[in-house]
Amino acid sequence: MARVEENIRGLVHAEISGAEPEALLNACLLEELPLVRPQSVDRWTLRLGVYEGDLPRLEELAANCGCELRVLFQRGGSRMGKLLRRRLGLLLAAGTLLALLFISSLFVWEIRLVGADGISRGRLLRKLEESGLRCGCFWPTLDADVLRDRVLLHEPRLAWLAVNIHGSVAEVRLLPRAEKPELLQESGAADLRACHAGLVRHISARSGQVLAQPGRAVTEGEVLISGTVESITAAPRQVRAQGEVWADTWYELTAVCPPPQGKESAGAGLRGRFALKIGGKRINFYQNGGKTIDGCDKIVHEYNLGIEGLFRLPLGFVWEELRPYRTSEISRDPGEELGQRLIASLDEHIEGEIVSSGLSAAEVDGMTVVTLRAQCRENIAQTVDIIP
């Protein structure tokens, strides 16, 4: 209990030195000045404790007794009050910060789309904004069911949508609608016609009447296996022709390549510029922000204040790096790369394989013209329904 009183009133530890320090003790007794744990150091030195409020009286008595008083240290009292006031300011600042964080967490400052593959993100964000979900909106007033119905009504490519709020971050989970599979029609009369002109090599018919013969050339659109089957003893009947017709085909593809522009390499000198984002506003600390800077690559770094998964503040910083570059001539022949692309495109287009191919390139008006001539072995049979 005495320790608590000392901390509240403030205890000053002092050292008294003089010819007769005991005279100061007698004077304190006569003045009824309380002393705390006085002790003798030597014949001319005395150490004691006195309450902070009684320190001026003790200094006056020490001067009257011809003694010198020196304060060693102090505990509690006004010192504790200053410390408490300082800590109170810190507590108030922390409380204000927590209140601001709580208020900020009631607003949406970031929208994340999860599972939006194959769908325009800009279109989805615009539909969400029209439905009420935008940066800076007060999310407790949002109705997730109404928001979902509005977005699904205007976006038929979505099958499901859900909105989850995590510390000022709205996570929108999307499920694209599955495309309807193309149904294989097993009924109905149909012919097998040539999708490309070629020289027939092999025919494998499962149903229908074969009209083409191996070793004969056919033209595009010609009937290879007819769905109308003739009969000697009965009237002609119609079936769905099925089978494969393998033939040698020839292709000639041409592509034009612009002249090479050279490749970029890093140059000397690195510049940067700074911007501040507050909510949906951006404050640039530089001029001519929309002007294109020639000869430089711009790399944008954006930093948002907050803790991932807990909260996000409507405050961010943008740092743009401007890296100069130099262009140098390309030593590689552009026609070679374009020819490889033509071969890959033809390989994806045909139902078969490329038997042989040849590339030729020519310069026409400063442009590189690449021509691919190829012989392929492919199935040229294409199902065409018979319209009654």
Task: Tell me what the mean pLDDT of segment 61-83 comes to.
Answer: 76
- 140 sits in which H/E element: none
Pairing of the two strands 228-229 and 198-207: unpaired
The DSSP annotation for 184-214 comes to ---SS-EEEEESS-EEEEEEEEEESEE---T
User: What is the DSSP secondary-structure string of 225-293?
Assistant: EESEE--SSS--EE-B-EEEEEEEEEEEEEEEEPPP--EEEE-S--EEEEEEEETTEEEESSS-TTS--
Q: Which domains does the chain have, with CATH numbers?
A: 2-79 (3.30.70.260), 110-176 (3.10.20.310), 190-246 (no CATH), 263-328 (no CATH)
The model's pTM is 0.44
Query: Residue for token digits 């490309």?
Result: 196
Which two structure tokens, joined as six digits, stand for 210? 């074969």
- 37 or 185: which leads in pLDDT: 37
* 45 pLDDT higher than 90: no
Condensed to tens digits (0 to 9), the pLDDT of residues 154-193 reads: 888 888 888 888 878 888 888 888 777 766 556 678 889 9
Using CA atoms of 192, 197, 203, 208 in order, give the dihedral in degrees to the nearest 10.
20
Q: Among residues 368, 156, 351, which one has the least CA distance to residue 259?
A: 368
pLDDT in tens, 107-144: 888 888 888 777 778 888 888 888 888 888 888 888 88
3-state secondary structure of 102: helix
Mean pLDDT of 360-369: 82
Burial degree of 67 (CB within 10 A; 0-12, 13-18, 19+): buried
Q: Regarding beta strands 381-385 and 311-328, do their DSSP bridges make them parallel or antiparallel, or are they unpaired?
A: unpaired
- What are the start-end ranges of the E strands in 285-366? 296-307, 311-328, 352-364
Owner of token pair 């200053």: 82
DSSP-assigned beta bridge partners for residue 145: none
Which residues touch 381 (CB under 8 Å, ≥6 apart)? 192, 193, 194, 195, 224, 225, 243, 244, 245
Please check the confidence at residue 1 and state whether its pLDDT lies above 80. no
Identify the residue with better confidence: 314 or 84: 314
